[in-house]
Structure 1
Amino acid sequence: MRHVIRFLILVPFFLLACQSNIDDRSTRLVNNPKSATESDRKEVAQIAFTNIEHDFGRLIQGEKVVHIFKFKNSGNVDLIVSQVSASCGCTASKFTKEPLKPGEEGKIEVTFDSNGQRGIQNKTITVISNGLPQTTVLRLKAQVTTPESY
C-alpha cells in the first residue's frame, strides 16, 4: 500500500517536471536562406571564392607569408561576412567587414607564421556569412623546414 501511495505522489511530480513551457521558446524569426521558402530564395546573397586553397610551398621556419583570398557577392542582396576564424594561432586574418552589394568583391587576407612549425602544415580558415553557402572552409598548405635542413 505504501508503494502505491508513493507512486501516486511521484507520478504527478514527474509529469509536472517534464512539462515543456512553450512560452520560454524564442519566437524570433531567424533569416536562414537554407530554410527559406522557394520565393524567398530569390533574395539571397551568394559568396563565390576565386579559389579556396593555397599552397605556400616550401618555407623556412620563422617566415611569415601572406595570401589574399578574393570573393564576390554573386547573389542579389547584400553579403555580410560575419566571422573568419583560423584553425590555430599561427594563422591570422583580416577581412572585408562592410556589406557587399551584388557584384561587389571582397577579400580575406591571411597571414601564416611558420615560427615553431615543422613539416607539412595544413591550416583551415572558416568563413561565416549570410550568403549561400553560409560556411566556407579555406585551406592553406606549407612545407616548413628548419634553417639547418634547408
Structure 2
Amino acid sequence: MKRLILLLAVVIVNASAFAQSGAKIEFKAEDNTIDYGKVTKEADSGVRTFEFKNTGDAPLIITNVQSTCGCTVPTKPTEPIMPGKTGKIDVKYNMNPGPIRKTITVESNAVNYEGGRIPLKIKGEVIVKQEVNLLEKKKSVPNQ
C-alpha cells in the first residue's frame, strides 16, 4: 500500500511538472530565423521584425534583448504581452557588405524555453551594387 501511494505521488508530481503554467512565447519565423536574402545597402533599410505570440496563461515579460555585436540593434516591447496577444521585436542591421550571420538573445519569463532565453537569428548577404560608368568606352568589334 505504501508503494502504491508513493508511486501515485511521483506520478502526480511529474504530471504537474509537464503541465507548465505561465507565459509561453511562440515566434512566427521558422526556426526563429529571418533570412534577408541578397540585398544592397541602398535598396534596404536593414530593419526586420520578429513577431511572436504569448500562448501561455500569464503575462509575458521581455526583460532584455541583446545582440552579439554592435552592428545589430534590437528593440524590445516595453509593456508585458498578455496571454493570447502578439508582440514584436525589431532588429536593425547596419548593412555592411558581406555575409550576415548574427544571433539576438531574448531574455524573458517564458516557461517553454530553458531559463526564458530564446535565440533569434538573422542571415543573408549584403552585396555591393554594381555601378555602370557611362563614360567608359565600350569594347567594340573591329570593322570587317
TM-score for both structures, normalised by structure 1: 0.66
1:40 shift after superposition:
9.7
Which residue of the other structure, out of 104, 110, 132, is the alignment partner of 1:131? 110
Matched residue, 1:10 = none
- C-alpha separation between the residues in 1 aligned to 2:58 and 2:19? 11
Output the CA distance in 2 between the equivalents of 1:50 and 1:107: 10
Aligned to 1:112: 93
Where structure 2 has 5 or more consecutive residues not aligned to the other structure, the ranges are 1-14, 133-144
Which one of 64, 79, 88 corresponds to residue 83 of structure 1? 64
Q: How far, CA to CA, are the matches of 1:142 and 1:149 in structure 2?
A: 22
Kindly, what percent of the aligned residue pairs are identical?
33
Amino acid at match of 1:136: I
Change (3 A) 1:100 1:61: closer
- For residues 52 and 24 of structure 2, what CA distance do their matches in structure 1 show? 10
Shift of residue 129, structure 1, vs aligned partner: 0.4
Q: TM-score, normalised by structure 2?
A: 0.68
How many pairs were matched up?
Answer: 112
Q: Aligned ranges for residues 1-150 of structure 1 at < 5 Å?
A: 38=16, 42-51=20-29, 52-61=32-41, 64-114=45-95, 117-132=96-111, 133=113, 134-148=116-130
User: Measured at CA, do residues 149 and 143 of structure 1 come closer, stay the same or move farther in structure 2, by a change above 3 Å?
Assistant: farther
Q: Write the letter of the residue equivalent to 1:138.
A: L
Change over 3 Å in CA distance of 1:79–1:73 after alignment to 2: same
The separation in 2 between residues aligned to 1:135 and 1:149, in whole angstroms, is: 43
The alpha carbon displacement at 1:149 in A equals 8.0
Residue 61 to residue 112, structure 1, CA distance change in 2 (3 Å):
same
